[in-house]
Amino acid sequence: MELKGKTVVVTGSSRGIGEAIAEEFAKQGANIVLNARKAIPEEMLEKLQSYGVEVEAILGDVSDFNSAKHLIDQTKERFGSVDVLINNAGINRDKLVMRMDEEDFDVTYEVNLKGSFNTIRHALPLMLKQRAGSIINISSVVGETGNAGQANYAASKAGLIGLTKSVAREAAMRGVTCNAITPGFIETDMTAALSDKVQEAMLGQIPLKKFGKSKDIAETAVFLSKSEYITGQTIRVNGGMYM
């Protein structure tokens, strides 16, 4: 897909990987819809606009079905289409299973997995109708490997891979693609919150001996959205952490 003038929705894009994805698509000349639960920094809107594209911030919680509908409906109203949907919004509530509350599991599942279903449910009919579109779900390496202390998060991210493959199969006949990216350890606010000890241990598991950058994920998302022949795939961007 040629991205110039297309409309890209990036959920959870007030910072981190989502912000980098938005910028990478803006560089390609795509119009950007930012989303987060709380305000998006004004400087971020200005930075993206400096690429000569249109930028809209539509706040809302993706785990809420109607809020996800609002996000897609408003995008359609403003830009006329949804060409690329990036499900990036995600949270973690790390605890060992034996100490995990029901709420820790539910809220993680509701944002990471159900949130992606919610946006896909509303955007897919538009994409099928226009016979073009790309959906990219940001999963995680731990969805493939599992991780002690992240049963809720890993389960939600593994579920996202199943969602990706099923949507890919349902949408393929109309030329719509759906893929997942599984980042390894990427330097963001989410990972900065981990202790030095945990970060050190993670580094030991990465053959390339460095943490990834948000840009590594953003460039992969752009690549996937441009391809018309990659669908149902899980693309690992993890420094070799899992092969």
Contact status: 89 vs ligand NAI (CB under 6 A):
yes
Contact status: 91 vs ligand NAI (CB under 6 A):
yes
Residue 65, classified by CB atoms within 10 Å of its CB into exposed (0-12), middle (13-18) or buried (19+), is: middle
Half-sphere exposure of 26 (CA within 13 A, CB side): 25
* Residue among 16, 133, 159, 239 that touches ligand NAI (CB under 6 A): 16
Which one-letter DSSP state was computed for residue 41? P
Residue from 140, 118, 116 nearest 17 by CA? 140
What part of residues 204-243 is at the interface with ligand NAI (CB under 6 A)? none
* Residue among 7, 63, 116, 164 that touches ligand NAI (CB under 6 A): 63
Contact status: 42 vs ligand NAI (CB under 6 A):
no
In this structure, the number of other CB atoms found within 10 A of the CB of residue 62 comes to 26
The alpha carbon torsion through 6, 12, 18, 21 (nearest 10 deg) reads: -10
**CB-nearer residue toward ligand NAI: 4 or 195:** 195
**CB-nearer residue toward ligand NAI: 7 or 63:** 63
**CB-nearer residue toward ligand NAI: 29 or 149:** 149
**CB-nearer residue toward ligand NAI: 124 or 138:** 138
What part of residues 178-197 is at the interface with ligand NAI (CB under 6 A)? 183, 185-186, 188-191
**Catalytic-residue membership of 153:** yes
Task: State the Cα–Cα distance between residues 105 and 196, nearest whole angstrom.
Answer: 25
Residues 179 and 168 sit within 8 Å (Cβ to Cβ)? yes
Catalytic residue IDs: 153
Instruction: Name the site residues for ligand NAI (rule: CB under 6 A).
Output: 11-18, 35-37, 61-63, 88-91, 111, 115, 138, 140, 183, 185-186, 188-191
